[in-house]
Every structure is written in structure tokens, then in C-alpha cells.
A and B are shown apart, each in its own frame.
Chain A
Amino acid sequence: MATKIKIPTPLRRHTNGLATVEVNGGATSVRAALTTLTAQYPTIGERLFDGQGQVKSHINIFLNNKDIRFLNGLDTHVRDGDTVVLLPALAGG
């Protein structure tokens, strides 16, 4: 099961410059996909999560273009071919 995680530019230095990281095999939730990501690239974990294992409030996570806060949060189910996008807090206009 390959899930794509799209990494924004400011965080790519933690993934050896990669803009997209494929997380293979067994990722069943957003949390699991991100855990695999931080296992491969440990320094990115500190950027994404606070001390209590919660995603920092100024970071948005989208699954197939939907904000996971409106789905099931980090427990949102992930399927083969899904894309997870990490973005800074968006602002208006």
C-alpha cells in the first residue's frame, strides 16, 4: 500500500530535499503514515508534533484535499494511492 506524503519546501531539508515521500506497506491511518515518515526522517517529527504527540496547531494536514480535522484526525483511514499533504496554516484574502 503506497501512500504519498507531499512535503512543503521549508521541511524538505529534513527529507533529503524530497518533495514527495512514498510510505510503503501497512499504513492504515494518517498517524501510521506519519510515523513511518518520521522513522525514515527523524528530524521532521520535531517540526510536526509537539511534546504530547499532537500535531502542532499551525500545521494543516490534508488527505486527498480534505483537512483531516474534518475527517477523523490522525486516525483517518488511508488507502492505497492516497495523498497526504502537509501545509502551514493558511490565511485569508
Chain B
Amino acid sequence: MCRASVSLNPIHLSKKFLERFFVSRAFRLVETLCHNVSSGRGKSGGQEKEEGSMSFLRGLRCKECGATYPAEAIFVCDECFGPLEAIYDETARNAHVSHKTIAQGPRTLWRYHDFLPSEYTPRVDLSDGWTPLLPARNLGRALGLRNLYLKNDTVNPTFSFKDRVVSVAAAKALELDLPALACASTGNLAGAVAAHAAHAGLPSYVFIPADLEPAKILSAAIYGATIVAVQGDYDQANRLATEAAEEYGWGFVNINLRPYYAEGSKTLAYEVAEQLGWRAPDRVIVPIASGALYTKINRGFEELYDAHLIAGPLPKMIGAQAAGCAPVANAFAQRTREITPVQARSIAKSLAIGNPADGRYALDAARKSGGGVFSVPESAVAEGMALLARTEGIFGETAVGVTISVLKKLTDARAIDPDETVVAYLTGNGLKTREAIEHVAHKRIDTEPNLEAFQRQFEPKVFAIAQ
């Protein structure tokens, strides 16, 4: 991990890069490596950059007590058992990165590799991220917002934002030479892991509750993953996966690779800022499960600001939950610092984490940004999905229904200025949660196969007059 010496022979370095990166970027990358190495040397406590490394990652640090660790497949602090997060050589990175260097990158999340903890490789590249940011004129008009945008992650390779975090984690697994990719999941993550493992040429193991919907199981199994169907609920599957991670050394993207995995979510902030012309929106709405996505989007905007890539103020962070599992929204409403875990019972299964690991950090981000975390009734989830689909032609999953419903709750309460630039994050595709909208009334005409029969149904007034 730390090398004693680094070759500075530019011919050698440029050959290495040409092997791995887009040809058009080769020269710039050689420049960058020389910059990385020269800024990494001689810094007290700083790591020497590995030869060929393009990452500004310095290591891992405990979020609770600050203890630091090398960049390995670990996720808990030995000292205090707190969670670990990735830390970077921010001075060197911010000196290097610019709007121009980013614009020269690929049209995927990897254009922001300077902010990511893994080294790019085509083996993890399914063309993840760089998803559309769409102006929502109809929905905006319905809600009284003049500058509403939708960040549409429903169109990722496996149809959720999980492709981002998995691409980054998989790259780290390859760097660390791990024998397999794995995860505990109730849906989106399983598919993303299985797909990226197949593309990378790695075996994969997906731990799920045995009673998971068949469609979700198939959506992971088709890529060749080994499905570990645990006879219990998601929490039990997660616990078993945690123990298996220790036992087998597989790269569990949301367990022992979690510090790297989580970083992928920051790209949702970077992309929105860039797609808005390098400015921060006034407000963003993000669904909350563990709180990792919400806190990392917040962090992404902070990093852009620190790197002088956007000006302030930073966005107000709005978190969205459904009433059947709203521990963070409850804590926000009660103005407490600690989260009281709940038993998750919600139609929004992808958000059903009763004890969110990043809940406290989410509360901090909400309060610090002048935002908040809110919940909507379970019945509003499908309504939110339908409202979005009917006004804008996008079919999001239940978590999206939660997000749109919370947005509507705020606009109904006149809590958002109509001129604010607001971005709602659409985290997963509706095809994954079709059951949720089965009961939603839709226009339908049942008819015999002749025009008269159809007309009787379709134009009853006209038909009556013609009679």
C-alpha cells in the first residue's frame, strides 16, 4: 500500500497510463501523476502515492474518535468500534482539480475520479452515472415551483443509484485483490453488485431474506450471482453477511468496503452542480434509508465549495422518509440528537432501515444546512409515484414516491420559495416496485373488437346524440 519509491520516468509512466486510460487523456494524466507524487512527498503523515495511482485517497479515519487506518477492506474502528470513512489529501486535490479537468473526463461518474477513493478500471465501468438532470416544468407548475429539476438515476445500468456506489467499491475490491464481490440487500444493491461482478469477471454472493420478491431475486441471479437466501428478515441477512465478511474475505460492498462504497454517492452532488453550470441548487430532496446517500450528497457539495468549484451558499438538505419507517424524521421533529430505532413496516422497502447507521450524521447535516427531514403517510407513497409519472413521464420506485410526496408536503405548506432552484433525486426505477401502484386507479376501456362497441364506451354523449 505504501511504496518506498516511485518511478518518475515519464516514458514509463505514460505507457502505463495509455494501457489503462482513454488515449486522449494520457498526457494530462502523466502531468497529474507527477503533481500527485510531488505533493505527496515530504508531507508529514502523508502517504507516498503508489505508482500509477490516480487517487488522492490518504486512508481511512474513524468518524467517532478520529483514529486513522490504511486503506484496506475494513469498516470499524479498532479503538472505539465507530464507523470508518475515506480521507483525502484535500490540499493537493483542490490545487489540481478544476472545471476544465473535470470536463475532460468521461461521461460517467468517473469524471470525478479525483474525488473518489478508487482507481478507475474499465472492468467496473458499465457507464454508470452522468444521468440526466431534467427540468420539471409540469410538476413544478403543479407544485408552484419555477425552477424544479429531477436528477434521474432511474436510468442507470441496473436502474438505481446503487450502480454508482458499486462501481467505486468494485474498483477498490480489484485494487485490493479480493476474491469476490458480495452484499446484503433487499433489492437494488443485489442487482448492481451482481452486474458489476459479472462485468469485472468476479464471482458474487448476494445475501437476501429468503422471502424477497421473486422478481428481485431473478434480477440478481441472472447475472450469475450466488443467491444466499437467508431464512430470516433483512437485518438477520445483514448480520450473517457481516459475519461472513470476516470469515471469507469477500468484498461486501456495504460492509467491509463500505467506506469506499459510500463515496460513490458524492457524485450525485458533483453532477448536479456541473449540470446546473457549476452552481449549487438552493435545496435538494433526498430519500433516507441508512442516511448514507443523504450525508454523502451533502459532503459532495461541501467538497466542491472547498475546492472553489462552486460558490455558496450550500443547498438546504431535505431528507424524505415514509411514516412506516421514519426514525430520522421523528428525531428531527422531536429536536433530539439521538435516533430511536423503529421496527420498519413500510411500503418503501428500499428505505426500510429501522436503525440507520448514519442517522445522527444526517440530522447534523439537516440542521447545519438549514434543511430538515420529513415523513409522509404510507398512502402518499404511491400518490407521489403517480404524480411524477403523470406530470413528467418518469416512473420511479417507492423511494421516489416518498421523495416527491415530501416535496409536495413542503410546497403545500408554502415552505419553499417559488423561485428556489430545487433538485429532487430519483434514486430507483419504478419497474422494481410495481406492486406499490397496483391499486392506483388508471384510465381503462374494456371493449369488444368493433368500432361501435368502442364508441359506446368512449363517446357515450356523442353516441346518444347520434341516436
Contact = CB atoms under 8 A, between A and B. Distances in A.
B154 interface: no
B232 A57 contact: no
B235 interface: yes
Contacts of B81: 10-11, 47-48, 56, 58-59, 88
Interface string B353-364: 101111010000
A10 B69 CA distance: 13
B254 interface: yes
Interface in A31-85: 47-48, 56-60, 62, 65, 67, 69-70, 85
Given A65-B236, A93-B185, A93-B189, A88 B75 contact: yes
Interface of A is mostly: mixed
A2 interface: no
A90 B357 contact: yes
B455 interface: no
Contacts of B339: 57
Contacts of A58: 64, 81-83, 357
Interface residues of A, number: 25
Contact of A91 (B77, B186, B190, B292): B292
Nearest to A85: B239
A10 B243 CA distance: 12
A65 B290 contact: no
Nearest to B340: A69
Contact of A92 (B75, B76, B292, B341): B292
Residue from A13, A58, A69 having most chain B Cβ neighbours under 10 A? A58
Name B's interface SS.
Answer: loop
Contact of A47 (B80, B254, B353, B356): B80
A57 to B, nearest CB: 6
Nearest to B193: A93
A61 B55 CA distance: 37
Nearest to B253: A93
B69 to A, nearest CB: 11
B258 interface: yes
B76 A10 contact: yes
Interface string B280-307: 0000000001101000000000000000
A87 B235 CA distance: 12
B190 to A, nearest CB: 8
Greatest chain B CB density within 10 A among A11, A57, A59, A92 is at: A92
B183 interface: yes
A26 interface: no
A8 interface: yes
A8 B82 CA distance: 13
A10 B81 CA distance: 7
Given A8-B246, A57-B338, A65-B232, A90 B238 contact: yes
B343 interface: yes
Contacts of B232: 65
A9 interface: yes
Residue of A10, A13, A48 with highest tally of chain B CB at under 10 A: A10
B166 to A, nearest CB: 10
A89 B83 contact: yes
B242 interface: yes
A87 B242 CA distance: 9
Given A67-B235, A69-B355, A93-B186, 16 more contacts: A8-B242, A8-B246, A48-B81, A58-B64, A58-B81, A60-B355, A62-B239, A70-B343, A87-B239, A89-B83, A89-B355, A90-B239, A90-B357, A91-B292, A93-B185, A93-B188
Across the A-B interface, give the 9 residue pairs with the lowest CB-CB distance, nearest first. A93-B189, A93-B185, A89-B357, A92-B290, A91-B357, A93-B254, A92-B289, A91-B290, A92-B353
Interface of A: 8-11, 13, 47-48, 56-60, 62, 65, 67, 69-70, 85, 87-93
29 contacts: A8-B76, A8-B242, A8-B246, A9-B246, A10-B76, A13-B78, A57-B338, A58-B81, A58-B82, A59-B81, A62-B239, A65-B236, A67-B235, A85-B239, A88-B75, A88-B81, A89-B355, A89-B357, A90-B238, A91-B254, A91-B353, A91-B357, A92-B254, A92-B290, A92-B292, A92-B357, A93-B162, A93-B185, A93-B186
Interface of B: 64, 75-83, 162, 183-186, 188-190, 232, 235-236, 238-239, 242, 246, 253-255, 258, 289-290, 292, 338-339, 341, 343, 353, 355-358, 360
